[in-house]
Amino acid sequence: MELHEIAGKKKQHEADKAKETMLKVEGEGNPYSYAEGPTPAAEEADLGDYTGLKNPPEDVYADISEPTKRPVSVKQIQEATRPYRLACLILTVLSLVLLLVIIVLLVKLKTGSGACAVNAVSWKSPTCTVEHCRTFTSQHRDRCSCCQQCPPRWVRLDQSCFFLSTLRLSWEESQNNCTGEGGSLAVVSSQKVQSFLTQNGNGRKYWIGLRSTNDIWTWIDDNTLKQNYWGDDETTGDCAILSSNKPAEKNWIKSPCSSYTYYICRMHL
């Protein structure tokens, strides 16, 4: 019995020694140990590492501050809208001015479409011809006279336009040129016309629309000569010349119609 008990104790001692060795190896960090569970110290370490992740604090974003919103004053709003209000005012004024101009133009177009220019001294349109002017005169004689204008290089006296040529021709050729321009050789119908042509003649001699037929002097419009301005020079011929280098009272001379000199055309407005 004693040997049996000694042998049992010896086996028990060896088993305890083997178990102690296994525990020692496990404590050294053996990953393949068959320990039933971690030591209490290890549990405390594990809980300490993951507590912060499992239960984050509710005020984790408490330190992040939101941008502050400053209140906008009425003055700032007025300053911001001032340029737009000024632009609106300018556009409104321009619109009113444009509307007024349109109204004025419409009124003039309606009431003054056939009105003539009062201060016009020459034709503005280069395509306007003498014949056009004469046509206008015949159609609107009750309102105006050819827009109160004469062709370029023509001078005006009352309701007539006169052209003093810079080209010398015979009496017949001069008359043909005047007819081509819508007029005729000048008819001196009054002392006023006589003085006007003399003053604008630049000292030259001009054919006028006066011609003798069977010793009877008649104008180009078939009116018989009544008032004359013959000079004292003894000349002969069947056609009359106005010498602007002499006084207007006596500056007509007689000349053959085939002679060459300047001429004066006349056109009624």
Look up the domain containing 209 and give its range. Answer: 153-268
Residue keyed to tokens 């004693």: 2
Give the pLDDT confidence of 178-226 residue by residue, as tens digits.
Answer: 998 889 999 998 999 999 999 999 999 999 999 998 889 999 988 989 8
Burial (CB count <10 Å: 0-12, 13-18, 19+), residue 177: middle
Share the mean pLDDT of the chain.
74
Q: Which helix (H) or strand (E) holds 95?
A: helix 74-111
213 domain residue, yes or no: yes
How far is 161 from 159, CA to CA, in rounded Å? Answer: 7
What is the number of structural domains in the chain? 1
Contact 140, 117 (CB under 8 A): no
Q: Which helix (H) or strand (E) holds 135?
A: helix 130-139
78 domain residue, yes or no: no
Question: In this structure, which amino acid lies at residue 70?
Answer: R
Give the pLDDT confidence of 60-84 residue by residue, as tens digits.
Answer: 555 555 556 566 666 666 677 777 7
67 domain residue, yes or no: no
Residue 33 bridge partners (DSSP): none
204 domain residue, yes or no: yes
CATH number, domain at 216? 3.10.100.10
pTM of the model: 0.48
Give the pLDDT confidence of 191-200 residue by residue, as tens digits.
Answer: 999 999 999 9
264 domain residue, yes or no: yes
11 domain residue, yes or no: no
133 domain residue, yes or no: no
133-140: long-range contacts at Cβ-Cβ below 8 A with a sequence spacing of 24 or more? 133/182, 133/267, 133/269, 134/182, 134/267, 134/268, 137/268, 137/269, 140/114
How far is 181 from 265, CA to CA, in rounded Å? Answer: 9
